[in-house]
A = this chain, B = another copy of it.
């Protein structure tokens, strides 16, 4: 099986697990359930579940042990996209090439669907096939990564930064919280399910920190280069909203150099991981070279 076919199988697997963890579209309240499924099952890169599977399997976990954690991080990611797209937030009408949830449904349903997805994420972790001790570590990891010290706090910093000038350090801090924390949590959850050693945890934390920044720098570059058809979302929005980005602060060449610095950091971190995790190297490459 080629690396791509392996990743494809994990993507399909996470789609299936999400489908079974989400409430059925035909049961009441149907509109809420439909919106939750629309937001989670409409494609997407599935980077976070892939990180859970790639990390866990490299360290010897079975796929069955990783399913709930893989789904939980994606549920949190999906809820954050719904809420970020709301009119009061980034006000975006297009996501993954389809109308955003508040456009396809309505604003109240979008708010509630996001809220409910967060709860389903923690319910999924509570019912994971692992010891109670591991499940609690998963809950603690995901709660911290998505709360005020992580994703939600990062989004607040992002909103506050719009239209204002910002230093590179502040931009990096914001991204480490807004997108980096959940990416790091995905890797950590995979490692927790596999019973990783402290040395493995440390190498993986270095890898995921670099991956989070690389992912974001690539996002900023795509926002300048891409078309709506390629991106599946509205391009040039960051610049139009006056948001600080890596290309704005560093120029396009500087942003590409910053990206290479993170690529190097990922390679060094993975070189220190035993046993090796080739799938994590593959995901690093995908995150950096992706066209959407």
Chain A residues proximal to chain B, CB less than 8 Å: 23, 28-29, 31-33, 36, 79-80, 83, 86, 88-89, 106-109, 111-112, 114-116, 118-120, 122-123, 125-127, 131-133, 135-136, 139-140, 142-144, 146-150, 152-153, 155-157, 159-160
Contact A23-B112, Cβ < 8 Å, known A118-B119, A123-B143, A157-B29: no
Which 5 residue pairs spanning A and B have beta carbons closest together?
A119-B147, A88-B107, A32-B156, A123-B143, A132-B132
Q: Which residue of B lies closest to A126 (CB)?
A: B140
Shortest CB-to-CB span from A127 to chain B, Å, is: 7
Whether B126 and A139, one on each chain, are in contact in the complex, defined by CB atoms closer than 8 angstroms, is yes
Whether B112 and A115, one on each chain, are in contact in the complex, defined by CB atoms closer than 8 angstroms, is no
Q: Which residue of B lies closest to A125 (CB)?
A: B139
Chain B contacts for A23, CB-based, 8 A:
148-149, 153
Could you name 26 residue pairs across A and B whose Cβ atoms are closer than 8 Å?
A29-B156, A29-B160, A32-B152, A86-B111, A88-B108, A88-B111, A89-B111, A108-B159, A111-B111, A112-B155, A112-B156, A114-B115, A116-B152, A116-B153, A119-B144, A119-B152, A120-B148, A122-B122, A122-B139, A122-B142, A123-B139, A123-B140, A126-B140, A132-B132, A132-B135, A139-B139
Shortest CB-to-CB span from A71 to chain B, Å, is: 13
Chain B contacts for A142, CB-based, 8 A:
122
Shortest CB-to-CB span from A241 to chain B, Å, is: 13
Whether B31 and A156, one on each chain, are in contact in the complex, defined by CB atoms closer than 8 angstroms, is yes
What is the CA–CA distance of A33 and B153 in the complex, to the nearest angstrom?
Answer: 9
Contact A160-B31, Cβ < 8 Å, known A112-B155, A116-B153, A132-B131: yes
Whether B123 and A108, one on each chain, are in contact in the complex, defined by CB atoms closer than 8 angstroms, is no
Chain B contacts for A29, CB-based, 8 A:
148, 153, 156-157, 160
Q: Which residue of B lies closest to A134 (CB)?
A: B132
Chain B contacts for A80, CB-based, 8 A:
115
Residue in contact with A83 in the complex, picked from B28, B31, B111, B133, CB distance below 8 Å: B111
Other 20 A-B pairs with CB < 8 A, given A88-B106, A132-B135? A29-B153, A29-B157, A31-B156, A32-B153, A36-B148, A83-B112, A88-B108, A89-B108, A111-B111, A116-B147, A118-B118, A119-B143, A119-B144, A119-B147, A119-B150, A123-B140, A126-B136, A126-B139, A135-B139, A136-B139
